[in-house]
Amino acid sequence: MPVIAVLLLASVFIFGKEDALRSGTISIDADTINLTTDQKITNPQFSGLTNLGDSFILKAIEAMPDSPSPEKIDLIGPSLEFDALQGVGFKISSKNGSVNFIKQSAELNGNVYIDMTNGYKAISEKIQLNLKLGNLIAPNSVEASGPYGKIIAGSMELFKDFDNKTSQVSGNLNFSDGVTLIYLPSTVK
């Protein structure tokens, strides 16, 4: 019996065909090569705290790190929830984005929707976030609507100030670069 097993094993090497992959008979397409070399994380979630103790959670459908020890991570379908202890908090969603943990920053682009806790909702093509400070900048055109009407501007900035004298934090929402304000006063009762 052992002799037959040895003969069968030897026949694989003696009578075996050429390796189709090494001989070039089988070719691998570019998509398959990319799948074997690119890293991808499905449904990632990153969370942290700003210097002032505000919490944030950044989620995405997919994340693609730029290296095994990533500096930048590209995001597909990102959403961010920023919970402010004081001041304005917000929820954001967009088509694409990236996060840089070394710089503690994120950039979201492609139909960026911003829902702020002060009642305003805004849309822009791109926003930049400073995750260390909890600041948000929409450097391009932005359209916002809220409790007092509608604002159209060339840019928007949501930032926090810390007053060392009073130890108070204040949130500020600034619109600039050609601001159009449509004021809708509340009805008198």
Q: Which residue ranges make up each domain of the chain? A: 40-183
Residue for token digits 């929820």?
A: 91
Q: pLDDT at residue 4 above 60?
A: yes
The pLDDT, as a whole number, for residue 21 is 44
Which of 52-56, 93-97, 128-132 comes out lowest in average pLDDT?
52-56
Mean pLDDT of 49-58: 87
Q: What is the mean pLDDT of the chain?
A: 81
pLDDT tens sequence across 66-125? 887 888 999 999 999 988 887 778 899 999 999 998 899 999 999 999 998 888 899 999
Question: At 32, is the pLDDT very low, low, confident or very high (cuts 50, 70, 90)?
Answer: low
CATH architecture of 40-183: Sandwich (2.60)
DSSP run (H or E) holding 33: helix 30-37
CB 64 within 8 A of CB 77: no
Closest CA to 58 of 46, 70, 49, 72: 46
pLDDT number for residue 20: 45
Q: Which residues have C-beta within 8 Å of that of residue 29, sequence separation ≥ 6?
A: none
- Considering Cα of 107, then 94, then 140, then 153, what sign does the dihedral take? negative
Pairing of β 96-100 and β 121-130: unpaired
What would the mean pLDDT of 29-45 be, rounded to a whole number? Answer: 69
